[in-house]
Each structure stands twice: as C-alpha cells, then as structure tokens.
Structure 1
C-alpha cells in the first residue's frame, strides 16, 4: 500500500543516513512501514523529550555517568576524601569528570535537536506525492544543515529546519548556504516578523499603502526587514507602473496572494496601475517557501479598492493553476 509522502520521506533519510546524521533512531537502516502514521512521530518525540529530561539532570548534577551505564577512563574509584586541606586545591579529577558530563550533555542535546528536525522534515512532506528529484543534495549542504540544526532547541525553529531539509530534498539547490547561515542566526522574534511580512507578498512585492491598523507592519519593522535582507526599497519606496500582460487584446493583470488573487482589468490598453511598495529579495523568496501562508483577504480588498480608485475593474477570485493556465472561481466584484 502506497503511503502519502513515502518516497520523499525515504529520500530524506537516504540523504543523511550515510553521514551519521539522525543516529538516535537510525530509521533509514530499516524499512519504515506505516511511515506516515502520526503515532510513530508522537512516540519518537516523547522518547526525545525523556532524553532531554535526562540531559537536564546531567547538567544539574542529579545524574552521573554511572546512571547511564557509562564509565569515563579517567574516573578514579579510589578517591581520597580529606577535610584537612586548607590551601586552595583544584580537584582536577572532579573538574575533568564535570567537563566530561557537560560534554556528554551537549552532544546528547545536539543529537536530540537533529532528530527532532528530521521528524519535522518527515511531517512536512507526509501528504506530498511528488517524485523525489534525481539530483542529490550536496554533501556540503547536508553537513552545514546538520551543524546548524544541532544548535537549535526551540520547537518552532526545529520545524523551520525540518522544512529546510525537506525542501532541499524535493528540489536540490532551492536553499543556498547563505540562506542556511541566515536562518542559523535568526531569532524567534525575527522569524515571526518575517512571517508577518511575507503573508503580504504579492508577486514578489509588498504594497506600502496597507495601514498599520489593518494589519500592516510599522515602518521601523519594514526597515529592520530591509537590514535583514528580506526586503529592498524600504528607504526608497519603489514605484511600479503595472501594465497589461496581453497587449492588443485587453488590459488584464492577475496578482496572486496564496489561495486567492486580484483579477484587474481596464478598457484602456494603455492604462497603468500605479503602486508603491517594497520588493521581496531573493533571500525573502526562499524564506517564503518555508511556511504555509493563508491569504489576507483584508489586504487584498484594500489593494483592490486602491486599484478601483484608479479606474480599474477589480475582482477577488479563487484560482487554480493547471497546465500553465489560470482557472478562476468564486469571483467577488469590488
């Protein structure tokens, strides 16, 4: 029985298995029957949560290596206890063991972080029946991903790293090494800010006429996004004159915003829709593919009204792209 997303899930594990990545579960070494079952992932995440609790106990000194059936070669069972020393003494043996415990905790946490990101990578393709690319993900990219993902303990950010891996497996070269380094240094607050602005993306641009009270960002936040490299033109506020796609037939443009779009028409073939806004950078467009956005209908409606004030006819429509052609439905005339 074919499992949704099975081919992509297997390819994800094939991409990391021979590099010793995800060694806690090693699922690529066996046939993962029922791979799309969410219960499997819940069980794995619960197991990882238990490991994290034990890591915390190690850091707090509650557990020692002996609790894990491990033994450091430098551990001396014939310790001499003395309460008579008055001179400053560094207990080298104790210090080395403590450092060893901290190193163990750090390495365990890295493995947990990677394993969680891999589980989230699986989840992101569970309903995707696309065929894996014949091209393999570059080794340098995989090792960089491992290094970056191992440092992240936040669930939200681990999901982001999972989607990065899944997207690169689906389309090798989709995310540059620069993108990985960008995400690596991204805070959760910055990630949320990027999500907020990219939900307003319309054909690679953000309309600057959307008001803060309607859901737009503050100007200072747009400036921050420009400094992060997500947007361009914030300080210059790029003007764009949109002309027709079909000269000689009629003036028509379709502006997509995720599940919906604006179908804009005009009787004058020489008409030009004047819009000011900010451009989404190449890095921003890569980041856009890492989340699932829903259309902000209020944003679309406001922009549609703005176009209507310039003499254009505007409809908000649902659309489906099939064989290179748009199919529209549920049109609402503004």
Structure 2
C-alpha cells in the first residue's frame, strides 16, 4: 500500500467514525472464511472485510448515529441563525415569516454544513424576516439541491444581471437588432450579439441554469424602441440608461425565472467589467449608454 493510499484510508476511517460514532476494524480472516462457508460463496476480493468495533448492539449503534446527526443539524441551524443576526440590518420589518415557511426553512437548512452556503441561508432568513414572501419554498428547495457546479454558474450569472424595476426582475442583455424599414426590405436589419463566454458565462453554464429553472429557455425580445426611448437597468449600485438613437430597435436578453430572481438577490456582486465593455461595444452604434 502506498503512502497516498494509506492516507486516504486513514482519512476515510476517521470520516466513518465521525458519522457512525464507532470505529471500524478489519475482521479476522477466519471470520471472513466462516462467512463464505455459511453462504456457500466463493471468496470475493471486494467482500466487506470490516466490522464496527463495539460491544453495543445494532439498535444502540443506530440510536447513537441518530443522536450524532441531530447534534450536527442543531449546530448547523444555530450557526445559520447566528449569522442571520449578524447580517440583519437595523430596518423596519413588514411582519413575521409564515410559520409553515419557517418550518420548511429549518427542515431544509439543518443539513447545510458548508460555511459559505450557511451564509446564503442566513441571508434568506434575514430577507424573509424583513419582508415576508421574499423567498418561496420552491427557491429553498432549489438551493438545497443545488450542486457546486450549479452554484458556480449562478455566481457567474449574477455579475451580468441587470435589474428591471418595472418588472421586478433580472435579465442579461444579449444584444439587439434593427428591424428593416419598408423601403429596405431586401436588406437584413443590423444585428449585434454579445459573446457571454468572454465575460465568464459560457453556454454550458447557461444550459445548467436553464436545466434547474433559473433562466427561461428562450431568448426574450423587448418592444420596439423608437428614437429617444430608453431602458434603465440597475447593476449593484450602478444604473445603466440605454437610449435608442434611431427607430425600430429591439433588445434581446435572457430573463431569470421567479426562482432565479429570488436566488440572485442572495448574491451581491458588482457588474462584470468585461461584460460592461462588451455591452458598450455591441450597442455603441445604435444606442447611447449612460452609467451613473
């Protein structure tokens, strides 16, 4: 056995003891052979060679494992609630969270041991305490089931999202096209698209977010913008005003779902600098952009 294998087995053994409450030891070879004869089986190299080292019966061992699990869950909940008090601003609350929502929250959050994820759950509790109804149970369930890959995709997405106040929703601008006029039907309208991968959000990331229902699957188009009309988006403390310089301009974008909107609120990141540059370059010919 190599040193690396020995270290891996030692680490695994400690993990198992931590979760079971008991160490595991290797069975004597005679006991394994006796078990083989009992079931009239050929010895298997992959056969279980380890047993729990304990004088307690299986029921008592099960009760101990259950107690250890409950202790860990209690610590997780206490950590999340402590973080929520640390993060909570001194503002007026609109009411108390719904009791059923709170029970769902505790049931889903008690298994969250990662400190970064605990902070997200603490933010949810703060948000719901200030404004009940901010986070749906569906959003809690989505967050609970989210993998590290999916969480990374959401993090990358968050820095590209602009908030559209009139719709109370987030979107990611993709570009625009200009509808051809009646006097120029033979020519395609001007079109510009952003390469989001250059800003860190690749197409696989987008598909991942679509698969977990955080982004709608279809690109969405704005209404026709006429010369002088504008659209304003908020980007974490910055506001972007996009004013059309000519008629019949249509912006295209990805729109976050309700669940996506709710989970985006947990991630406070400034606008991606590369995305800001790409946006300016793509829109400069037909729009005037103002950041403030």
Query: TM-score scaled to structure 1, two decimals?
Result: 0.61
Cα deviation for residue 213 of structure 1 reads: 5.0
State how far apart, in whole Å, the 1-side matches of 2:100 and 2:157 are. 31
Compared with structure 1, are the counterparts of its residues 272 and 254 closer, same or farther at alpha carbon in structure 2 (3 Å cutoff)? farther
> 1:307 Cα deviation (Å)?
1.9
Question: Residue 225 of structure 2 aligns with which residue?
Answer: 243
CA distance in 1, matches of 2:67, 2:130: 34
Q: Secondary structure at the match of 2:61?
A: helix
Selected match of 1:146 from 106, 110, 114? 106
Say whether 1:215 aligns with 2:199.
Answer: yes
CA shift, 1:193, in A, is 1.2
State the Cα deviation string for residues 197-225 of structure 1 (Å, max 9, x = none). Answer: 12211232212333255224221221221
Q: Structure 2 vs 1, CA of residues 123 and 272 (structure 1 numbering), >3 Å: closer, same or farther?
A: farther
Give the conservation status (yes or no) of the 8 Å contact 2:242–2:289. Answer: yes
Q: 8 Å contact 1:262–1:300 — kept in the other structure? A: no
Provide, for residues 53-99 of structure 1, a one-character-per-residue CA deviation record: whole Å limited to 9, x for no partner.
9x96574537xxxxxxxxxxxxxxxxxxxxxxx999xx994322211
1:232–1:57 CA distance, 2 compared to 1 (3 A): closer
Could you tell me how far apart the structure 2 residues matched to 1:267 and 1:113 are? 54
Which residue of structure 2 aligns with residue 286 of structure 1?
A: 262
Q: Partners of 2:194 and 2:115 in 1: how far apart?
A: 32
- Report the secondary structure of 1:263's partner residue: strand
- Structure 1 gaps of 5+ residues are 1-52, 63-85, 319-334
Q: After superposition, where does 1:1-334 map in structure 2 within 5 Å?
A: 57=18, 59-61=20-22, 93-125=56-88, 128-133=89-94, 135-202=95-162, 203=164, 204-208=170-174, 209-212=193-196, 214-233=198-217, 236-241=218-223, 243=225, 250-266=228-244, 271-310=247-286, 312-315=287-290, 317-318=291-292
Q: Does the 8 Å contact 1:160/1:290 carry over to 2?
A: yes
Q: Which runs of 4+ in 1 moved over 4 A?
A: 55-58
Which residue in 2 is equivalent to 1:34? none
Tell me if the contact between 2:76 and 2:111 (Cα under 8 Å) persists in the aligned partners: yes
Distance 2:273 2:105 in 1: 36
Q: Secondary structure at the match of 2:57?
A: helix
- Following the alignment from structure 1 to structure 2, what is the Cα–Cα distance between the partners of residues 212 and 264? 19
Output the TM-score relative to the length of structure 2: 0.69
The change in CA–CA distance for 1:58 and 1:290 in structure 2 (over 3 A counts) is closer
Residue 168 of structure 1 and its aligned partner are, at CA, apart by: 0.4
